[in-house]
């Protein structure tokens, strides 16, 4: 660990929380160095999601704000014709009987989100509402409003469309919820939608190709 600080790029596996990754990395570094090492993340990924996590260790944790504000690139798989209470596979899924939108309709809907837009923070998120995480309130079934934020979608590319599956790559500003983007695309098309897969491939200039899998890092 140079100068008592380290920047670690991890390719997060599906099914694990970002905090779970942080805990394992902290345990590994602390064991190696013989003392407790401070480790923090620079923006979480949902448990179902995979891809680039930037972790900061030691003195580098003071630099977290540098990384939090960076724009990001994601690849997302969206299921059209159903909705989820969480916007992803972990929620309660409701199927909708709908006709398959044309490729032209999908392109028009997707492109309508490019630019600066207002986006409502999802209820299943880590944003704090009166001091408590929104997802905890949502799990309790409490009724509450989440804030709306100004975000920017720099570009969206359709990678593949074969109803009911739509795959996109999007370059977005910090603070963007891709789960909400997927849901909003489904609303625009009148089909409903939720994310079945999400992968973060870039944060600022840091790319997934330079990241280690968690297993490789811990080995």
Tell me the pTM.
0.93
Of residues 185, 21, 43, the one with CA closest to residue 126: 43
How confident is residue 1, by pLDDT bands cut at 50, 70 and 90?
A: low
Report domain 72-203's class: alpha beta
For residue 49, pLDDT beyond 80 = yes
Greater confidence (172 vs 131) lies with: 172
For residue 84, pLDDT beyond 80 = yes
How confident is residue 3, by pLDDT bands cut at 50, 70 and 90?
A: low
Which of 11, 46, 88, 184 is the catalytic position? Answer: 46
Neighbours of 132 (CB within 10 A): 12
User: Per-domain residue ranges for the chain?
Assistant: 2-69+204-218, 72-203
For residues 136-157, give the mean pLDDT: 89
Place of tokens 């599956």: 165
Q: Residue 123 has what pLDDT?
A: 81
* Mean pLDDT of the chain, nearest integer: 93
Angstrom distance (rounded) from CA 115 to CA 153: 5
Angstrom distance (rounded) from CA 199 to CA 158: 15
Quickly list H helices, 34-147: 64-68, 103-111, 134-139
Beta bridge partner(s), residue 141: none
Tell me if 2-69+204-218 shares its fold with 72-203.
yes
Neighbours of 218 (CB within 10 A): 13
**Measured between alpha carbons, how far apart are the two ends of the chain, in Å?**
17
Please state, for a pLDDT cut of 70, what percent of the chain lies above it. Answer: 98
Q: Is 46 a catalytic residue?
A: yes
Tell me the CATH architecture of domain 2-69+204-218.
Answer: 2-Layer Sandwich (3.30)
- The alpha-carbon radius of gyration of the chain (Å, integer) is 18
For residue 155, pLDDT beyond 70 = yes
For residue 203, pLDDT beyond 60 = yes
85-144 pLDDT, tens per residue?
999 999 999 999 999 999 999 999 999 999 999 998 888 777 888 888 888 888 888 888
């Amino acid at each position: 660990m140079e100068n008592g600080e380290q920047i670690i790029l991890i390719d997060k596996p599906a099914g694990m929380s970002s905090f779970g990754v942080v805990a394992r990395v902290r345990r590994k570094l602390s064991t190696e160095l013989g003392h407790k090492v401070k480790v923090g993340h620079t923006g979480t990924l949902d448990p179902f999601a995979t891809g680039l996590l930037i972790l900061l260790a030691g003195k580098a944790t003071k630099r977290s704000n540098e990384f939090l504000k960076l724009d990001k690139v994601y690849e997302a798989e969206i299921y059209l014709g159903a909705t989820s209470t969480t916007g992803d596979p972990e929620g309660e899924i409701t199927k909708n009987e709908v006709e398959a939108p044309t490729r032209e309709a999908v392109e028009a809907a997707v492109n309508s989100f490019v630019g600066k837009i207002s986006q409502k923070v999802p209820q299943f998120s880590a944003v704090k509402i009166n001091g408590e995480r929104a997802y905890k309130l949502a799990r309790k079934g409490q009724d509450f409003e989440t804030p709306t934020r100004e975000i920017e979608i720099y570009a969206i590319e359709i990678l593949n469309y074969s109803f009911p599956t739509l795959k996109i790559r999007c370059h977005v500003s910090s603070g963007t919820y891709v789960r909400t983007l997927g849901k909003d695309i489904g609303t625009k098309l009148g089909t409903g939608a939720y994310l079945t897969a999400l992968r973060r491939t870039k944060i600022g200039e840091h790319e997934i190709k330079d990241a280690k899998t968690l297993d490789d890092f811990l080995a």
